Amino acid sequence: MMQPPAQALPAFDTRPAGDPIARLDRIPVWPYPYSLLWVLGAAYFFAFFDIVNIGAVLPEIASEFHVTATLASSAITAGLIAYIIGAYGIGSLADLFGRRLSLVLSVGLFSLGSIGAAFSPSFEVLVLFRFITGLGLGAEIASVTTYLGEITPASMRGKYTSWATTCAYAGFVAVPFVARFLLPTYRWGWRALFLIGAAGGITIFFMRWHLGESPRWLMIHGHEEEAEKAVRQAEACARQRFAHPLPEPEPRLNRSEPRGYPTSSLLHPPYRRRVLLLIALWFFYYIGNYGWLEMLPTLLRQISYSLASSLTYLIVSGVGFVAGALLSIWLNDRIERHRTLFVAGLIWVLALLTVGLIPQPSVIMAAGFVASATIGLMVPIMYTLTAEHFATPARASGVALTDGLGHIGGALAPILVLIGTLNFGFFGGLLVMALSGVGVLGLLPFTIRATRKPLDEVSG
């Protein structure tokens, strides 16, 4: 039997102040054990370690398997294509069967892929396992973003998404440090880097004990008693940390949620326009983002920088990822998100052009630090903003679909960057990245304004 079509525009009435979601949103402190944050942070650390390590080892892979730099970059492209498939496929499972299940599946997949890549006997096998890794990475990023956005009270939604992303960028920073030691010294160093990424699988065992299901997901799937229990536990934890009585819950808009398969609601107003806008936003952003993250070592090698020098510059500039993410913890809920993103995006474009025009060691390190810091600042805010555009029944699918299809830009980034270098040399590669940032700046004004507002007031 066919599912009824999704409602185009959700109706709503007033939700009573005693409703579990209203009570969750009014809590002024982090209402869960901090171990939950550490488990998610560790999973994110190893996921992002795995995202960026392919860029560091790309020259070594080309040498090991006797392939060109262009062909070697197909390992990046395969992973990003898989990212799209995994983000949407497992993201849909998260909407249907729960956020917790999708987190476990995603971590298991990227860990399995990393182990396989480490022991690949040929380039073709390596590409296959990077594809499997990409399935898990795409799913995890969509799942963590959705999960944190739903379990966190409205006033601090951005703060804790930024906290998790800070852990992720610590994984970014760790790659060049480890690669600086392994790659110049050991022929098998690139394989060891993949194995380190696989260590993220250990967090699966801790997820079983520390991660509860999203109360919002429980409510819309008819598990009111479980949602009530989860919120009572959150309130009890918050009372132990908060020196004053918890504020009274405010009545919220109670929207009737779209029915049917999650994606079906995304094809109707107001979500259809939001989907197209966010796909375009992420598409442009990921061209520059992945161009910088994955291709910089290759570009530096092309202008005669040694492997050791390239990794040293990555270490210095990479500290900017964590610096930017730490700054986003403070900014994410203080200033309207699209304004912060616009200023950071403009600085990002200027930093990329500076590196391209003046590829001297000191400039690469200084401007590279700024470029990396803006990435670290922008990504958690963009994740938070994306999740706010969708209602709970299709939130994971919406995040996965837009972020996932946006990764087509990331998949094209190595090709576009290399084409840029063919025509304009090193500067051409950086120019491609900078132009993608201009596309981001043009789209940001059309996003919704949701900072510090309850999800049910802005997602419908």
pLDDT band at 9 (very low <50, low <70, confident <90, very high): very low
Q: What is the pLDDT of residue 382?
A: 95
With residue 254 as reference, give the H or E element that holds it: strand 252-255
DSSP 94-161: HHHH-HHHHHHHHHHHHHHHHHHHHT-SSHHHHHHHHHHHHHHHHHHHHHHHHHHHHHS-GGGHHHHH
More confident residue, 220 or 435: 435
Domains in the chain and their CATH numbers? 20-242+266-458 (1.20.1250.20)
pLDDT of residue 261: 53
Q: How confident is the model at residue 356 (pLDDT cuts 50, 70, 90)?
A: very high
Cβ atoms 384, 157 nearer than 8 A: yes
Q: Which of 41-45, 251-255, 360-364 has the lowest mean pLDDT?
A: 251-255
Which pairing describes strands 12-15 and 252-255: parallel, antiparallel, or unpaired?
antiparallel
Helix axes 395-443, 74-97, angle to 10 degrees: 130
15 has pLDDT over 70 = no
- CB within 8 A of 251, min separation 6: which ones? 14, 15, 16, 17, 22
**pLDDT value of residue 352:** 96
Kindly list the distances between the CA atom of residue 227 and the CA atoms of 262, 394, 460, in Å, as whole numbers in the listed order: 20, 18, 21
**Mean pLDDT for the stretch of residues 266-281:** 91
Region 82-107: mean pLDDT is 88
| Tens digits of residue pLDDT in 332-346 | 888 999 999 999 999
**In the structure, what pLDDT confidence band is assigned to residue 16 with cuts at 50, 70 and 90?**
very low
Residue whose structure tokens are 């403009």 = 346
Q: Give yes or no for a contact between 131 and 78, defined as CB atoms under 8 angstroms apart.
A: yes
Asked whether residue 61 carries a pLDDT value surpassing 70, the answer given is: yes
- For the segment 384-407, the average pLDDT, to the nearest whole number, is 89
Mean pLDDT, the chain, rounded, equals: 86
Is the pTM higher than 0.85? The answer reads no
**Burial group, residue 269, by CB count within 10 angstroms (0-12, 13-18, 19+):** exposed
Query: How does residue 8 score in pLDDT terms, banded at 50, 70 and 90?
Result: very low
What average pLDDT score do residues 92-121 get? 92
Does residue 2 register a pLDDT over 50?
A: no
Q: Decide if pLDDT at 65 tops 80.
A: yes
Using a pLDDT cut of 90, give the percent of the chain over it: 47
The SS3 call for residue 178 is helix
Buried b / exposed e over 432-456, threshold 16 CB at 10 Å, is bbbbbbebbbebbeebbebbebbbb
8 A C-beta contact, residue 58 and residue 77? no
Ranking 204-208, 271-275, 446-450 by mean pLDDT, the lowest is 204-208
Q: What is the pLDDT of residues 26-46, one digit of tens each?
A: 999 999 999 999 999 999 999
The pLDDT of residue 13: 37
Q: 252 vs 421, which has greater pLDDT? A: 421
Instruction: Compute CA distances 177 → 18, 172, 181, 260, 389, whole Å.
Output: 51, 10, 7, 48, 37
pLDDT of residue 307: 64
Distance of CA 102 to the CA centre of its chain: 15
